[in-house]
Structure 1
Amino acid sequence: MSTSSPPTIPLTKLSPQIFLSDPPDFKPSNKLIILSLFMNAPLRISQKYIAHYRRLAPHTQILVLTSSTSDIILPPNQKGRCQELAPALEVLSASLAAQASTSKATGDSKELSIHIHLFSNGGVYSTTSLLQSYRSATGHALPITSIILDSAPGIPGFVGGMRSFSAMLPRNIIFRSLGQISFLAILSFLWVISCLGFVDSVTAGRRAMNEKGLIGGQPKRVYIYSNEDKMVDWEDVEEHAKEAEENGWEVQMERFEGSGHVDHMRRDEGRYWGIVEGCLGLRA
């Protein structure tokens, strides 16, 4: 007897890298969830996360951000990224407007609740780019309620970089070898320009995540990571978490045992979603 696959959750394409999931009975509310996927993540990866978030927050819009190899390897270009993120800024503006209208009509002064769930350095890049674009457009930081950093942020390096880029290469040994040689050349070039004082996207994103003027409000942040991650070292994650704590943020560190990069949900789904529920205020 065959088992049917779970239904695909429809996503509205706002741009090549931005997608939106509206609940079937969507009404303007004071909640928004942002998923920032890891570099080159296929959209199907988002389906299980969206489905579970939909169960936890059935009436909430979910904004999905993606990133590509070129976003990570090229020097940061905030002006160009602001243009690319315009559709996401429109979603934020609409949510803020709906919240203000609802508050005026009902007298309920609840602020907009924005929860961010990002994955790997690609997710850090997309998230910080969005926050920087919002600040540039409005003159103030976007107020965030909570942030989950899954397998992030890392520190640029040859070993982790090669593993990250190699993950998307074909299995054919010839094409795979050619791809690895190309990536090695790219990583060598990035190392040279970093020695000349240019800041790469991974380092820029790592720094931005602890920049107080970039993140509004007092968001709780949870780091989900693993001692077995071959792409982002657990010690680099904990170092960043401690820096955030020293800067005054409420920090929770959740280290998994035995799970690979962005693979913690599959390793222990119950624990993973329990952490998410706690972050959303759904579990004591």
Structure 2
Amino acid sequence: MPEKGPAMAGFTALSDQVFVREGSLDDGAPARATDPDTVLIYGWGDGLPRHVAKYADGYRALYPRAKQVVVLSPIAKAMFSDLRQRTTQMAPVVGAAFAAGAGEGEGEGEGEAKRAVLVHTMSNTGAVNYAATLNAYREARGAALPHQLLVMDSTPGGTDMTASNVARWSRAMAMGTAGWFPWPAVVTQAIWSLALLLNGVYAWSIGRESAGAWSRRAANDAALETRAARRLYLYSQEDDLIAWQDVELHVAEARERGWAADTEVFRGSGHVGHMRRFPGQYWGAIGGAWRRAVGGEES
């Protein structure tokens, strides 16, 4: 039985973080041979189900026949866990998205390799859970997770324990937990700053790499992230939680290591706010990147 957690309307809960919705069987829904079979959506840190569901609905409008697997991303759960715990938490994603079906073998079989999979990860916490999924798939199937497109929305940011990064991370955590405490947000941010610093010292003392640092590296590690997948980075210079310079550094690293990567820069939208402010540009960029990824449009 799934661990008790939040509900997401129209989805079946596989755990307190992982939810699944089958593709539409409506005969009126358009079916294109080049559409994805499965869309994996990793919500941003402390994103509420009803807010993350808006992205799932956007994908349903684009690709109505695709199965959707949605992951909620509590910040504290991602930040204060080790890789083994995060991998276990993401195991249901692998089971839901890559279960062997009719005519398919277990593991990296012919049927599985032919699946058309689009992955969308939002903010650093969504990226942490996506990287844990890569690790879960590698451990279960002995190969890199097969997909054609990775969309990186407002991620990845810097991972060094600098004053500016701690300020960004603690502000994000304070925003996500604002309803928990009666005092001003600045007090909550100060508490989270201290918690982050203490956690960083503890991780350093035992030689454990931070969740963010490991996840940032994993996205550019060919043993985990297949080079067959195209990239699309969605970001803005006005994002106050993720520095655009950090995103562009990751883009450069990805291209240098052999990944095909597109970028879409938004003017004036904040952190994970591009879809709400510029829906046409947002979904148009994703649709174009998918067509390029599957060979339906020139690069």
TM-score range, shorter chain: 0.7 to 0.9
Q: What is the deviation of 1:58? A: 1.2
Residues 174, 109 of structure 1: alpha-carbon distance in 2 compared, 3 angstrom cutoff: closer
Q: Tell me, what secondary structure is at the counterpart of 1:117?
A: strand
1:110-125 counterparts in 2 under 5 A? 111-125=114-128
- Structure 1 runs of 4+ aligned residues shifted over 6 Å read 107-110
Q: Tell me if the contact between 1:67 and 1:126 (Cα under 8 Å) persists in the aligned partners.
A: yes
Question: What secondary structure does 1:239 align onto?
Answer: helix
Q: CA deviation at 1:54?
A: 1.0
Aligned to 1:104: none
Other-structure match for 2:225: 215
Q: Tell me if structure 2 keeps the 8 A contact 1:36–1:127.
A: yes
- Shift of residue 193, structure 1, vs aligned partner: 3.8
Structure 2 counterpart of 1:71, which letter?
K
Unaligned runs of 5+ in 2: 1-7, 28-32, 160-164
Aligned to 1:66: 72
Alpha-carbon distance in 1 for matches of 2:135, 2:111: 29
CA contact (8 A) 1:144 1:217 kept: no
Is 1:165 matched up with 2:173? Answer: yes
Q: Deviations over 1:201-230 (max 9, x none)?
A: 111111111111102351110100010001
TM-score (norm 1): 0.86
Task: Give the structure 2 partner of residue 4 of structure 1.
Answer: none
C-alpha distance in 2 between matches for 1:13 and 1:228: 35
Q: What is the CA distance between 1:49 and its match in structure 2? A: 1.4
Equivalent residue in structure 2 for 1:204, among 200, 207, 214: 214
Task: Note if contact 2:78-2:86 (Cα within 8 Å) is conserved in structure 1.
Answer: no
Give the distance between the partners of 1:279 and 1:100, measured in 2 at CA.
28
C-alpha contact 2:174 2:189 (8 A) present in aligned 1:
yes
Q: 1:182 to 1:109 in 2, by over 3 A?
A: closer
Correspondence for 2:18: 18
Structure 2 counterpart of 1:133, from 124, 133, 136: 136
Q: Structure 2-normalised TM-score?
A: 0.82
Residue 52 of structure 1, aligned match among 55, 58, 62: 58
**Match among 166, 186, 193 for residue 184 of structure 1:** 193
Paired with 1:108 and 1:165, the residues of 2 have a C-alpha distance of 41
| Pairwise CA distance, 1:46 | 2.1
Kept in 1: contact 2:98–2:112 (CA 8 A): no
Give the Cα separation in 1 of the matches to 2:102 and 2:274: 35
**SS of match in other structure, 1:142:** coil
* TM-superposed deviation, 1:175: 5.0
Residue equivalent to 1:5: none
> How far apart, CA to CA, are the structure 2 residues paired with 1:269 and 1:92?
27
Q: Is the 8 A contact 1:190 1:200 kept in 2?
A: no
Alignment of 1:272 onto 2:277:
no
Q: 1:142 aligns with which of 123, 127, 145?
A: 145
Distance 1:198 1:9 in 2: 37
Q: Within 2, Cα distance between the matches of 1:99 and 1:167?
A: 47
CA drift at 1:154: 0.7
* Contact 1:224 1:253 (8 Å CA) reproduced: yes
- The answer for unaligned runs of 5 or more in structure 1 is 1-7, 102-106
Alpha carbons 2:170, 2:190 under 8 Å: kept: no
Between 1:214-223 and 1:164-173, the stretch displaced more is 164-173
> Bigger CA drift: 165-174 or 205-214?
165-174
- Does residue 259 in structure 1 map to residue 264 in structure 2? no
Equivalent position to 1:100, from 101, 104, 112: 104
Distance 1:133 1:108, change over 3 A: closer
Aligned equivalents of 1:218, 1:146: Cα separation in 2: 9
Pairwise CA RMSD: 2.7
Aligned residues: 269
Deviation at 1:81, TM superposition (A): 2.9
1:224-243 map, 5 Å: 224-243=234-253
> Which of 253, 256, 262 in structure 2 is aligned with 1:246?
256
Residue by residue over 1:25-61, the C-alpha shift from the partner in whole angstroms, topping out at 9 and shown as x without a partner, is 189x971100000111111112221122112111110
In 2: Cα distance, 1:131 partner to 1:146 partner? 14
Give the C-alpha shift of residue 234 in structure 1.
Answer: 0.1
- 2:218–2:224 contact (8 Å) kept in structure 1: yes
Aligned equivalents of 1:109 and 1:32: distance in 2? Answer: 12
| Counterpart residue identity of residue 192, structure 2 | F
